Chains A and B, each alone.
Chain A
């Protein structure tokens, strides 16, 4: 009795819970892009789960009509992978911020990439910790002055796209919250991609780190001639820090772990305890 939505509109994915974000937050753009992308795919709300960790952006699932799992800080990826392994029939989308994915949960990113489990990740990156009111994040630029780096950030800046490419992620893209139509298309392609999809969504924080103007100037669509199978070129684009390239950097189809695991179970039998215990007789 799963339900199919007939000609859904973005509004059909919007819940009655009002977003808690500051006026002008980039995450509104990402949320609208998600509504739009899901509507275009006609994803059934009861077969779609949006998983998040903790942070401003991780409130996301509450604002959607789909199933949601708002977990704990940094653990959205393992929650989503367990869900997809157990229930490969569901559409699993993982959302969160740069703190969730690149700091406290950074270790999980490596293994999600290696497993290539068919989930889509949307990282809303504002280069700052917003929910805790303005401390440095792994994606803050070197020298950046925040409440926790009063003398300037001494560490270097994390490069999400280059990292994803180096981890052999099978779908790597970047979008910008101020361009929700393009971002919606990336989310759609990410969800449709069979494998681990990584979408880096630039999503400025108007309260603690206003990057709208800088990103408006830096965001540059990847040239339409770019070969999405060319990893060397993708890495070159990712390392270009003056510009923030948007679009699909790299894409590759390869077996997913959830598929492989379920191929193993295709021949499975029902469990019979008496028969099972024969091995100990």
Chain B
């Protein structure tokens, strides 16, 4: 474990705590290490406590780490808030002019961050560079790796100038010299050189943007909301580069409405929001489902209810996503499990939205939006794209109600045959026609309608069309990939999770197995329709099932109970902070 360290930086928002941490993570990753970050920040732009933690390791890391090995406190409040998360025997680095730490089971390194920044560099804003210089000197990575990142960041900044760069470099250098001269290293954390690997470093929101572009999403509309706004900003910047268009809507209702307009026009379209905005979209989710228009809707979940805690993590929109909208409304619900999966799954979201002509709700969460991970570059490969099933001038072949395969006459005029936009097919999928392509016209509608799309309230029609729409979910369930079991084949304890907790659960499973316990986990990424067979098989293969989730009511455990009669051991955490592997490991040991 020598080539691994978890560093936590605590400070005040606006003083470079987060940006300093970002630089450290990026430099370590570029140097060749795996990284996994976790951060908290206040909703305010300036002021308020914030924290950045990065786990740096020479082997792949799946969770944020149980404790900090190294805690750097930029003020007294950071110390008070974070010292409880410092590992026994860990390192506390602080500035003695800020406070004097109480005696504890940790090593202390006193570094005058403030004085170096003020007096030697003569620019107080370089305090985070002073901190980074001290980190380089004591734990690695090498100064050159940091300098490279700082240079590339500054070159893209509007504030950039030669003096600022010079001062930053001076701060790094002076601090590194200071610690090597004044501090006697007595801790075990030192990152050595590693082999450089072909990896990229990015967060969940960035991976979603990359995936949406690769999936040929060419229209985005959204309304700013924490923590989903950077998806919108990313799409605003990138879409024009690839022939797409973007709209910042006046509200989330307009955002999804315009996405459905674009989708009607045959263009792959998406919006991204968080809980409050998602609530506003519900009527249009019903329209998307009823009019059978593809749409991808990202909900970067945050702690609710109501405005809740905009910058804190929670997995509490699952029940809502599964049921949002009045009436019986088929939809697909997905939840990405990590940064790499954000890319792969959003591509699948578009593919499924287009194939099954329904809304796909994509449940990311705050921790994943901002979590930076190093990911093997080969994950980001060009996807295979399948278009919608287009109406091709003939009826869809149909065994159920005796339609003839008869060519359609296109366009207006007396005697034109009617195109059956909502043809009742065995799969439930009806070939769609796109305006401007010479295909016959139809009316998309939220009213109940017959196969031709004309309003129809007959009992037989509503019954048939309900069945047709829901049949698409059965088709999707049969066609979708099954989740893979992780861990022991002969496990007695099972863990079933969803969303961003996958890595943490798997790390807990690994650690339990290392202690001789028989444990396995299952982590479905498609939550509607659920992979029934895989879940039932998993449940029946173990004696007890733990369902960890970051919400109060156990929304996934409720679902598994309702669907499969599972009496799960519930593990709920709802303070706004993700699980650590230690917490899940403890639950496994208690159940055992």
Contact = CB atoms under 8 A, between A and B. Distances in A.
Interface stretch (B246-254, B496-504, B555-563, B565-573): B246-254
A70 B380 contact: no
Contact of B284 (A16, A75, A85, A111): A75
Interface stretch (A24-32, A58-66, A212-220): A58-66
Given A75-B254, A86-B267, A269-B241, A80 B435 contact: no
Contacts of A111: 249-250, 254
* Interface residues on chain B, size class: 35 or more
Contact of B254 (A1, A66, A87, A108): A108
B412 A5 contact: yes
A37 interface: no
A70 B249 contact: no
Contacts of B410: 3, 46
Interface in A247-281: 258, 261-262, 264-265, 268-274, 276-277, 280-281
Interface stretch (B160-168, B436-444, B481-489, B575-583): B436-444
Given A78-B258, A81-B261, A82-B258, A265 B244 contact: yes
Nearest to A44: B411
A275 to B, nearest CB: 11
A12 B380 contact: no
A86 B443 contact: no
B360 to A, nearest CB: 17
Interface residues of A, number: 64
B452 to A, nearest CB: 9
A107 interface: yes
A273 B264 contact: no
Contact of B438 (A2, A261, A273): A2
B110 interface: no
Contact of B435 (A49, A107, A110, A277): A49
A194 to B, nearest CB: 17
B454 A62 contact: yes
Contacts, number: 201
A16 B414 CA distance: 9
B455 A62 contact: yes
Given A2-B436, A86-B261, A280 B444 contact: no
B240 interface: yes
Nearest to A111: B250
B242 A79 contact: no
Nearest to B435: A67
A8 B243 contact: no
Contacts of B264: 49, 69, 79, 83
B459 to A, nearest CB: 19
Interface string B250-284: 11011101111110111101000000000000011
Contacts of A51: 261
A107 B261 contact: no
Interface in B160-212: 199-202, 206, 210
B261 A79 contact: yes
Nearest to A80: B261
Contacts of B266: 87
B442 A67 contact: yes
A280 B284 contact: no
A18 to B, nearest CB: 10
Interface in A41-59: 44-49, 51, 54, 59
A277 B265 contact: no
B200 A280 contact: yes
Q: Which of A12, A46, A47, A62 has the largest count of B CB atoms less than 10 A from its CB?
A: A46
A69 B446 CA distance: 9
Interface string A87-107: 101100000000000000001
B438 A268 contact: no
Contacts of B243: 265, 268, 270
Interface stretch (B91-99, B214-222, B310-318): B214-222
A261 B240 contact: yes
A278 B40 CA distance: 28
Nearest to A280: B200
A190 interface: no
A72 B435 contact: no
B437 A46 contact: yes
Given A82-B259, A85-B262, A87-B267, A3 B240 contact: no
B382 A273 contact: yes
Contacts of B454: 17, 62
Contact of B249 (A72, A78, A86, A261): A78
B377 interface: yes
A3 B246 contact: no
Q: Which of B221, B240, B258, B261 has the largest count of A CB atoms less than 10 A from its CB?
A: B261
A70 B250 contact: no
A5 B441 CA distance: 14
Contacts of B250: 78, 107-108, 110-111
5 contacts: A17-B454, A45-B412, A82-B265, A85-B247, A85-B261
Given A87-B265, A262-B245, 17 more contacts: A11-B414, A46-B439, A47-B436, A51-B261, A68-B441, A70-B446, A70-B447, A72-B286, A82-B247, A82-B269, A85-B247, A85-B261, A111-B250, A258-B245, A265-B239, A268-B241, A270-B242
Interface of A: 1-3, 5, 8, 11-13, 16-17, 20, 44-49, 51, 54, 59, 61-62, 65-72, 75, 77-87, 89-90, 107-108, 110-111, 258, 261-262, 264-265, 268-274, 276-277, 280-281
Interface of B: 199-202, 206, 210, 213-214, 216, 218-219, 221, 239-247, 249-251, 253-255, 257-262, 264-267, 269, 283-284, 286-287, 291, 377, 380-382, 410-414, 418, 435-447, 454-455
